[in-house]
Amino acid sequence: MARPKLGDMLLEAGLIDEVQMKIGLEQQKLLGTRFGSTMLALNFVDENVLTAFLSKQLNMPCVSLTNIEIPPSTLNILTKEMAERYHVVPVKKDGNRLWVAMCDPMDVEIIEALEESTGFVVQPMVAPESSIVEAIHRYYFGDIPKAQDAELSRGVFPDLLREIEEMEMFGARFEEINGRLDRIEKAIERLAKRLEKEEDSPR
């Protein structure tokens, strides 16, 4: 049985609408990003809401990466390149099982890639994407200002967000603008008629 897709789950739960899903899918295809990350970057879904939703729907534990200390022996199971590429953080190991924090635990391809690379059975855990990005930089690259990460995440789709805002603004004022155009057109017609009368009148 095929696993449900994240977009379908969000749509069914009423967390996004058809238009948002369509935009998200188009941007995902265009930029090659993951659907969950795309929806977060577009501000269509709050990351805390998304994390709680996935944890409940998938009956999967949620982890706060800011409140735990991950031992180096666990971190070394994944290279920094893999952690950054897949947006994942290894949290703990137990025998042949590796617990991994993911923002999209429904991504089977990532889970399979991690299992093939590490030899562990991967157990996904849900975590907000911003905390995963922060943890990757903290553990694998050294500390960086949180504000820098936040600024980077806000700038993923600036052009598209600006276009959406402009469309919403135009839509809200459409009737007002249309009314002004009608009044201008009628004024021009009255002026044209008056000029015609003046030309036809005897001098």
Residue 42 phi, psi dihedral angles, 5° rounding: -80, 0
Q: Is the dihedral of CA 10, 16, 19, 24 positive or negative?
A: negative
Mean pLDDT on 169-197? 63
In one-letter notation, the amino acid at residue 198 is: E
| Residues 74-118: tens digit of each pLDDT | 999 999 999 999 999 999 999 999 999 998 888 899 999 999 999
Out of 51-55, 84-88, 103-107, 164-168, the most confident range is 84-88
Contacts of 141 (CB under 8 A, 6+ apart): 80
At 156, is the pLDDT very low, low, confident or very high (cuts 50, 70, 90)? very low
Q: In what order do the strands lie in the sheet with 121-126?
A: 88-94, 97-102, 121-126
Predicted confidence at residue 177, as pLDDT, reads 54
- Is residue 98 within 8 Å of residue 75, measured between CB atoms? no
- Is residue 84 within 8 Å of residue 110, measured between CB atoms? no
> 154 vs 126, which has greater pLDDT?
126
CA distance 33 to 28: 5
Out of 8-12, 122-126, 164-168, 185-189, the most confident range is 122-126
| Residues 13-47: tens digit of each pLDDT | 899 999 999 999 998 888 888 888 888 888 898 88
- Is residue 80 within 8 Å of residue 141, measured between CB atoms? yes
